Amino acid sequence: VAAHETVLAGIYQRALPSVVHIRVVQRLATTQQQRANRQPGVPEDFFSRGEGSGFVWDSDGHIVTNHHVVDGADEVTVIFADRSQITAKVLGSDPDSDLAVLKLEDPEHSATPVEFGDSEVVEVGQMAVAIGAPFGQEFTMTTGIVSAVGRTIQSGTSSFSVPEVIQTDAPINPGNSGGPLLDRLGRVVGINT
Q: Which residues are catalytic?
A: 68, 98, 177
Alpha-carbon distances of 101 from 6, 20, 25, 121, rounded to whole Å? 33, 13, 17, 25
Q: What is the C-alpha to C-alpha distance for residues 81 and 55, in angstroms, rounded to an integer?
A: 11
CA distance from start to end of the chain? 29
In this structure, what DSSP letter does residue 13 have?
A: H
Give the strand pairing for 62-65 and 75-79.
Answer: unpaired
Q: What is the C-alpha to C-alpha distance for residues 178 and 98, in angstroms, rounded to an integer?
A: 9
DSSP 53-108: EEEE-STT-EEEE-HHHHTT-SEEEEE-TT--EEEEEEEEEETTTTEEEEEES-TT
The rounded Cα 4 to chain-centroid distance in angstroms is: 26
